[in-house]
Structure 1
Amino acid sequence: MARLPLFPLNTVLFPGMQARLHIFEDRYKLMINRCMETGEEFGVVLIRKGSDAMGKLAETFMVGCAAKISEAQRLPMQRLNIVTVGQRRFRIRELHFDEPYLVGEVEYFMPSDDDPPLVRQCGRILRPLLVHYLDTLHADSSNHFDAEQLPDSPRAVAQIASILLHSDNYQKQQLLEMDSLSKLLETLIEIYRVETMLLDIRLSPPGKYFDIGPFSSN
């Protein structure tokens, strides 16, 4: 296990995902400065209950993602703007309260390749669903997604699909917590099928999906 400073936020960070943060509280200015001095990571955890802003420490979910600082900008009053990149999933095994901020004893994990044939099959299904979703999402702009940019690896496709999903934090947290790669892929397939259908309906001309024809005479 490893000891990791924790940052409760109203966001879910995935491995490979970039997040921009504005650091203004004294306890987190201290934490981030320590991480910058040592090159260490910190953990991003979704707030389950309460608010962490300028008050007592919030209650968090017990699975999060380690973040590495890639850029930092110092501002007046010792505030900072930082850019972070998600690294590894972790489970919190124990919490420590001996610092102004939360510290956790964490165990890193990644979704296991538990059923290789099913994983490959799900990867082949999810890939075009993701491409169609992104093309539909950007249909009214010139920014079309190039399918060639997507890797072939089912694990990498699942990672990208998790990052790009427009969903609520609780659904994203469920994805982050999954320790089975096949289950993660199956869940993403279900989500993207529904999201793409809803997106198609929302962006379609009025009446395309709901034209029930003329009323019959009584």
Structure 2
Amino acid sequence: MVYLVMMDLPLFPLNTVLFPGMPLNLHIFEERYKLMMNECIEKRQPFGVILINNNQPDTSRRVKTSLIGCTAQISQVQPLREGRMNISAIGRERFRVTEFKYDRPYLYADVDLYPLLANINSQTINNMHKLKNKIQTYLKILEKAGQLNFNLAMLPNDPTTLAYFASVLLQIEPIHKQPLLETEDLSTMVESLLVHYRREVALLNVMLNPPEDDGFRGIFSLN
């Protein structure tokens, strides 16, 4: 497969894994990122979101990051005092860094776009049905816990869109989400998501429905 090359993609290292279709809200206050965002707005170009490794702070352009991220297209800008701004963006396309560059105030890179291979077969379709059922169960549990209210009828039917939605919805640490973003094909991604959702549904059920006290007081008598 031939991948489209993007030159000089501005990068925003974050402790967040961005997926295609995922909304992203940022408050921009550092000078380097004010410069970067103003250039993206002027040129109407996307920027790339990439996960910072080991939860380290983004204190320099040479911060260690993952090599696979997602482009973000700015959709709304709220200018603030002193050049600060609030921006809203949406995740668009996965990419793989081929070369980091450090001669600007902010980090940027040459990247290859990295589309998810939609290798759909009968097993994939079967797993998609299982995943959708697990997502519905997960959403109902979160609603019961008062953490989320979602109309189940709005779940996407397109397999790739559903896989990305499931990845965004999953409430796990970014370091555990990153492998989902890096997955090469849809079938493998769905299999990984099923493992995550089975585990998370089981854990949430235990947390929200703890076993009743059976009166057992241990091996020691009160007498």
Give the alignment partner of residue 110 of structure 2, picking from 105, 113, 123: 105
Q: Give the alignment's TM-score, normalised by structure 1.
A: 0.91
The residue number in structure 2 matching 1:70 is: 75
Letter in 2 for 1:191: H
Matches of residues 138-149 of structure 1 in structure 2 within 5 Å?
138-141=143-146, 144-149=149-154
Letter in 1 for 2:196: I
Give the alignment partner of residue 58 of structure 2, picking from 27, 49, 52: 52
Cα offset, 1:109, TM superposition: 1.6
The residue number in structure 1 matching 2:6 is: 2
Matches of residues 124-203 of structure 1 in structure 2 within 5 Å?
124-141=129-146, 144-203=149-208
CA distance in 1, matches of 2:147, 2:179: 33
Cα offset, 1:147, TM superposition: 2.4
CA distance in 1, matches of 2:171, 2:88: 21
Letter in 2 for 1:42: F
The residue number in structure 2 matching 1:122 is: 127
Give the secondary-structure state (helix, strand or coil) at the position aligned to 1:195.
helix
Q: Give the alignment's TM-score, normalised by structure 2.
A: 0.89
Residues 96 and 201 from structure 1, CA distance in 2 versus in 1: closer, same or farther, beyond 3 angstroms? same
CA distance in 1, matches of 2:128, 2:215: 37
Letter in 1 for 2:22: M
Letter in 2 for 1:52: D
The residue number in structure 2 matching 1:26 is: 31
Are 2:46 and 1:35 equivalent residues in the alignment?
A: no
Determine if contact 1:5/1:104 at 8 Å carries over to the other structure: yes
Residues 129 and 74 from structure 1, CA distance in 2 versus in 1: closer, same or farther, beyond 3 angstroms? same
Letter in 2 for 1:46: L
The C-alpha deviation readout for 1:57-90, integer Å capped at 9, x for no partner, is: 3111000000011111111111111111100000
CA distance in 1, matches of 2:153, 2:161: 14
More displaced 10-residue stretch of structure 1: 9-18 or 44-53: 44-53
Cα offset, 1:145, TM superposition: 3.0
CA distance in 1, matches of 2:177, 2:99: 23
CA distance in 2, matches of 1:73, 1:214: 60
Determine if contact 1:122/1:154 at 8 Å carries over to the other structure: no
CA distance in 2, matches of 1:211, 1:92: 56
Determine if contact 1:70/1:84 at 8 Å carries over to the other structure: yes
CA distance in 1, matches of 2:12, 2:53: 13
Give the secondary-structure state (helix, strand or coil) at the position aligned to 2:53.
strand
Q: Give aligned-pair identity as a percent.
A: 39
**CA RMSD, 1 decimal:** 2.2
More displaced 10-residue stretch of structure 1: 91-100 or 163-172: 91-100
Give the secondary-structure state (helix, strand or coil) at the position aligned to 1:85.
strand
Determine if contact 1:124/1:154 at 8 Å carries over to the other structure: no
- In structure 2, list runs of 5 or more residues that go unmatched: none
Residues 211 and 11 from structure 1, CA distance in 2 versus in 1: closer, same or farther, beyond 3 angstroms? farther
Number of equivalenced pairs? 215
CA distance in 1, matches of 2:72, 2:116: 18
CA distance in 1, matches of 2:202, 2:175: 21
More displaced 10-residue stretch of structure 1: 93-102 or 167-176: 93-102
Cα offset, 1:211, TM superposition: 4.6
The residue number in structure 2 matching 1:14 is: 19
Give the secondary-structure state (helix, strand or coil) at the position aligned to 2:70.
strand
